[in-house]
Amino acid sequence: MQSVLSELRDAQVGEVLPNEPLAPYTSWKIGGPADLLVIPESKAQLVETIRILHRHGVPFLPIGRGSNMLVSDKGIRGAVVKLGGGLNQLRFEGSRIYVGGGYSLITLSVRAGKEGLTGLEFAGGIPGTVGGAVYMNAGAHGSDMSRILIEAEIVLETGELVRLQKEDLLFAYRHSVLHTLPGIVTEAVLELAPGDRKEIAAANATYKERRIRTQPLHLPCAGSTFRNPDHQHAAKLIEEAGLKGLRVGGAEVSTLHANFIINTGDATAEDVLRLMERMQNAVRERFGIELVPEVLLVGEP
């Protein structure tokens, strides 16, 4: 690992931090150290980072804002590549948007509305990056990224840059081909529709008010813990199983939204995993339904 560390620093690819704790970089504020954390500040630095890691056979995990993931207490072997400010580009061309993989999805939703473009209102409450949203086919309020994405630029694990069309991404519910094709989204091209600015702003305000009222966004959490089963809502099942407020260590099922697990201050990844297991067992026993995690479980077991 020392040789790859030296090569990355010599190549001046941005910040290169060995044995860096990941908790400060995740929305759950949980996670052990990565062998290496690299924070490139441009697409060129990102590509060079990936090429160096590939040459040395070092696996990597990309993160944006660290939402929707649970990092093991033991941390991550290999490298974590955090998308820095160099992937925050944004350009409007009519109803088409060219946006960097590191751009905030919530900010993009607001910016699109101010441009008089509709179709991104659903994303106004998803606290991640555009790249993460493509990876997960993030969605809410009956829509998702597959409805608006035209193509995405990806840097593959070899460092090669490719452009994948919507059909190449094999979108499904909270899934894309990137789950099996290692790579990082450097840019997404979205197609929206002209809309009324006042109506878009009103919709955004409604969604924002609903988020504040129903989700514990003032506390460390990772968004929805489990996927919604077919024709069901995970939160409703968890609540009806009587699990609101259930705690394991510092992890607690939110009393505001049953499909959110909050870190009350000192939660570990093990606390969260044990709590998730208890939630799955309770819902299985009560309803015969298997809850499937929506959050990504990453790192050394």
Are the C-beta atoms of 126 and 106 separated by less than 8 Å? Answer: yes
Q: List the structure tokens of 122.
A: 């659903």
Which residue out of 174, 176, 187, 254 is catalytically annotated? 174
Q: Where are the beta strands (DSSP E) in 28-145?
A: 33-39, 60-63, 69-71, 76-82, 90-93, 96-100, 117-118, 139-140, 143-144
Which residue out of 27, 109, 146, 224 is catalytically annotated? 224
Which among 77, 84, 3, 78 has a CA at the least distance from the CA of 42?
A: 84
Which among 80, 192, 195 has a CA at the least distance from the CA of 143?
A: 192
Q: What Cα–Cα distance (Å) separates residue 98 from each residue in 43, 71, 72?
A: 15, 30, 34
Spatial separation of the C-alpha atoms in residues 134 and 149, rounded to whole Å = 8
* Other beta carbons within 10 Å of 167: 8
**DSSP string for residues in 88-104:** --EEEETTEEEEETTSB
Which residue out of 20, 48, 187, 294 is catalytically annotated? 294
**Residue 224 bears catalytic tag:** yes
148 φ, ψ (degrees, to nearest 5): -125, -10
**Residue 157 bears catalytic tag:** no
Spatial separation of the C-alpha atoms in residues 162 and 194, rounded to whole Å = 29
Residues designated catalytic: 174, 224, 294
